[in-house]
């Protein structure tokens, strides 16, 4: 198989996933855009609460991430039964985890106060989570169904469902945040209601598609039956992925908390810059998800040469897009940030000034952020998750977070220093994880 064939296969599979990820981020960006025009305090609260929700959600998504390589390998071997078993237990584990996470979100205000957030922001953040928190259950179901469909290369439906969700979210937000079309003006509560409604709709649409288009898998028949062996397989592969994801998203959550120590305006600027950086990151994530499927299939048929070539193509593709993003962030920072702040807001100049500096740093970590997530995708594809968990955790929390604190506060660099810490942690993760894939992992697989 030529490099071009690998490139074509990667993008045929990855483009719908990229589109889906961008549409998913558009949902959050819509919240940020509308709340930013509604009230800066509401935006700061939603940024803080959203960081907590996303951190809890992404940890639970580890079980969904585990489903992808397991189903991909089973599909390559023609084992429909195994694909069904691991997907069902992925749903089980995700739902159990989501139920456990509901109480901490419901009583979150004391936590926000404990970590030094302003009282008004902390109260609004809890208000948001008391509604939006319920959405973690359907959101995790959606993640498992997306993982199942991705592994089977049914990616266009993922894109279309996410586009529908993004449109629905914008409409409900417009109605409930501002009180348009005769709806009550609910502000941050309106954004939370929209979030839950969208997640429920997405779960239903994907469930209907799986039932109608993939009946041979009988995914939801007797779903209440426990399968100990499959549950153990998904759990063993999934929990390190969840911890790895927690380490990475926790780094960004911790940065949001430290930004809150600087005040509502820096936190709002952080939220805007992070939205822009996260939007471009969705392209790297989509390529990484496609790389996981491709790696899982090559591993299923034990084609190590194709695995290495496919890995090279995926890493280079991510690098090329990173260069394009760097140019955009450095050339048009004020234009990009101004979309998120009302022109008449008295705090607009300060938000723009802070945001421009943060976006320059976001450009700096585009290369390393793309590289580390691509390495993680390839490693997950060959079911190597425990050592990458350790390497990533050390990079994010052992280096990135302390560096951000020291640069931001003792050395007095403020918001810029906190983001420099993000760059340092992501750079170390990229080096260690790529070294893991191209070194020990490929050598071990070649010896099998």
In tens, the pLDDT along 230-261 reads 999 999 999 999 898 888 877 877 887 788 78
Identify the weakest region by mean pLDDT among 44-48, 314-318, 369-373, 391-395.
44-48
For residues 144-162, average pLDDT: 91
Please answer whether residues 219 and 84 qualify as being in contact, where contact means their C-beta atoms are separated by less than 8 angstroms: yes
Mean residue pLDDT of the chain comes to 85
Which is more confident, 19 or 11?
A: 19
Residue 3 pLDDT greater than 80, yes or no:
no
Closest-CA residue to 65 (of 235, 241, 311): 241
Name the most confidently modeled range: 246-255, 310-319, 389-398, 409-418: 389-398
Q: What are phi and psi of 194, to 5 degrees?
A: -60, -40
Count CB-CB contacts under 10 A for residue 267: 28
pLDDT value, residue 399:
93
Q: Give the highest mean pLDDT range of 6-20, 290-304, 397-411.
A: 397-411
Q: The tokens of 21 are what?
A: 């990820």
Q: What is the pLDDT of residue 85?
A: 92
Q: Does residue 114 register a pLDDT over 90?
A: no
Mean pLDDT along residues 382-403? 92
Give the relative orientation of helices 414-436 and 228-262 as an angle to the nearest 10 degrees: 150
CB distance 176 to 33 below 8 Å: no
Helical segments of 179-262, H only: 188-213, 228-262
Q: Indicate if the pLDDT at residue 275 is higher than 80.
A: no
Supply the pLDDT for residue 345: 65
Sign of CA dihedral 120, 418, 327, 433: negative
Q: What's the CA gap between 401 and 425, in Å, rounded? A: 7
Alpha-carbon distance 118 to 98, whole Å? 28
Q: Rounded to an integer, what distance in angstroms lies between the CA atom of residue 149 and that of residue 429?
A: 29
Q: Tally Cβ neighbours within 10 Å of residue 129.
A: 28
CA gap 31, 49 in Å, rounded: 12
Unique residue bearing structure tokens 């990173």 = 322
Q: Are 374 and 429 in contact (CB under 8 A)?
A: no
User: Strand, coil or helix: what is 170?
Assistant: helix
Query: Which value, in Å, is the radius of gyration of the alpha carbons in the chain?
Result: 21
Alpha-carbon gap, residue 136 to 216, rounded angstroms: 29
Taking the CA atoms of 240, 62, 375 and 324 in sequence, report the sign of the dihedral they define.
negative
At 1, the pLDDT band (50, 70, 90 cuts) reads low
Q: Out of 15-29, 214-228, 311-325, 360-374, which region has the weakest mean confidence (pLDDT)?
A: 15-29
**Whole-number pLDDT of residue 118:** 79
Q: Are 376 and 294 in contact (CB under 8 A)?
A: no
In 3D, which of 416, 434, 439, 306 has the Cα closest to residue 367?
A: 434
At residue 346, the pLDDT reads 67
Highest mean pLDDT range out of 24-38, 103-117, 221-235, 244-258? 221-235
- For 218, the 3-state DSSP assignment is coil
Confidence (pLDDT) at 367: 81
pLDDT of residue 363: 79
SS3 373: helix
Reading the block at residue 376, the tokens are 């993680």
Give per-residue pLDDT as tens, 286-308: 888 888 888 888 877 777 777 88
Nearest of 111, 2, 13 to residue 56 by alpha carbon:
111
On the question of pLDDT at 28 being above 80, the answer is no
Residue 330 pLDDT exceeds 90: no
Residues 205-225 have pLDDT tens digits of 999 999 999 998 888 888 888
* Range of weakest confidence among 355-369, 372-386, 387-401: 355-369
Query: Nearest CA to 87 among 166, 145, 161?
Result: 145
- Say what the pTM is: 0.81
3-state DSSP call for residue 57? helix
Whether 51 and 59 have beta carbons less than 8 Å apart is answered as no
Phi/psi-derived region of residue 180, left when phi > 0, alpha when psi is between -120 and 50, beta in every other case: beta
For position 342, what pLDDT does the model report? Answer: 66
Q: 111: pLDDT confidence band, cut at 50, 70 and 90?
A: confident
Distances (CA, A) of 146 to 87, 137, 223, 414: 10, 14, 17, 39
Higher pLDDT residue, 430 or 419? 430
How many helices and strands (H and E) does the chain possess? 19, 0
Residue 97 has pLDDT above 90, yes or no: yes
pLDDT of residue 422: 85
Q: Which residue has the tokens 């992501």?
A: 426
Alpha-carbon span 400 to 421, nearest angstrom: 5
Q: Is 2 helix (H, G, I), strand (E, B) or coil?
A: coil
Q: What is the pLDDT of residues 171-189, one digit of tens each?
A: 998 998 888 888 888 888 8
Q: Is the pLDDT of residue 351 over 80?
A: no
Give the pLDDT confidence score for residue 338 in this predicted structure: 76
Q: What pLDDT, on the 0 to 100 scale, is given for residue 27? A: 75
Torsion, Cα of 415, 421, 422, 425 (10° steps): 180
pLDDT level of residue 442 (50, 70, 90 thresholds): confident
pLDDT at 343: 65
Over 90: is that where the pLDDT of 354 sits?
no
Q: Retrieve residue 14's tokens.
A: 């990855």
């Amino acid at each position: 198989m030529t490099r071009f064939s690998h490139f074509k296969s990667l993008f045929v599979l990855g483009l719908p996933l990229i589109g889906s990820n961008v549409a998913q981020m558009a949902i959050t960006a819509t919240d940020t855009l509308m709340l930013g025009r509604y009230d800066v305090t509401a935006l700061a609260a939603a940024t803080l609460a959203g960081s907590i929700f996303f951190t809890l959600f992404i940890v639970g998504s580890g079980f969904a991430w585990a489903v992808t390589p397991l189903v991909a390998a089973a599909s390559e071997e023609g084992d429909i039964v195994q694909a069904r078993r691991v997907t069902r237990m992925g749903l089980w584990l995700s739902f159990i985890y989501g139920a456990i996470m509901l109480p901490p979100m419901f009583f979150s205000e004391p936590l926000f106060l404990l970590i030094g957030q302003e009282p008004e922001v902390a109260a609004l953040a809890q208000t948001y989570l008391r509604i939006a928190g319920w959405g973690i259950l359907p959101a995790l179901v959606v993640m498992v169904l997306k993982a199942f469909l991705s592994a089977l290369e049914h990616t266009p439906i993922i894109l279309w469902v996410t586009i529908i969700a993004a449109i629905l979210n914008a409409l409900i937000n417009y109605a409930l945040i501002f009180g348009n079309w005769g709806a009550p003006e609910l502000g941050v509560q309106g954004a939370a209601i929209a979030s839950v409604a969208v997640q429920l709709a997405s779960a239903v649409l994907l469930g209907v598609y799986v039932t109608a288009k993939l009946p041979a898998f009988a995914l939801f028949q007797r779903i209440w039956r426990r399968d100990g062996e499959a549950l153990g397989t998904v759990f063993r592969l999934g929990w390190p992925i969840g911890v790895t994801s927690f380490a990475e998203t926790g780094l960004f959550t911790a940065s949001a908390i430290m930004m809150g120590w600087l005040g509502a305006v820096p936190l709002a600027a952080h939220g805007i810059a992070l939205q822009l950086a996260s939007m471009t990151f969705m392209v790297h994530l989509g390529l990484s998800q496609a790389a996981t499927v491709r790696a899982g299939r090559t591993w299923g048929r034990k084609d190590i040469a194709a695995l290495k070539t496919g890995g090279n193509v995926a890493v280079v593709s991510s690098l090329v897009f990173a260069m394009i993003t760097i140019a955009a962030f450095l050339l048009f920072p004020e234009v990009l940030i101004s979309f998120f702040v009302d022109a008449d807001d008295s705090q607009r100049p300060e938000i723009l000034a802070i945001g421009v500096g943060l976006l320059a740093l976001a450009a700096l970590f585009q290369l390393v952020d793309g590289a580390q997530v691509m390495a993680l995708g390839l490693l997950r594809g060959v079911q190597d998750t425990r050592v990458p968990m350790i390497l990533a955790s050390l990079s994010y929390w052992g280096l990135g977070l302390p560096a951000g604190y020291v640069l931001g506060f003792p050395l007095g660099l403020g918001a810029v220093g906190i983001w420099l810490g993000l760059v340092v942690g992501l750079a170390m993760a990229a080096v260690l994880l790529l070294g893991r894939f191209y070194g020990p992992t490929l050598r071990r697989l070649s010896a099998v």
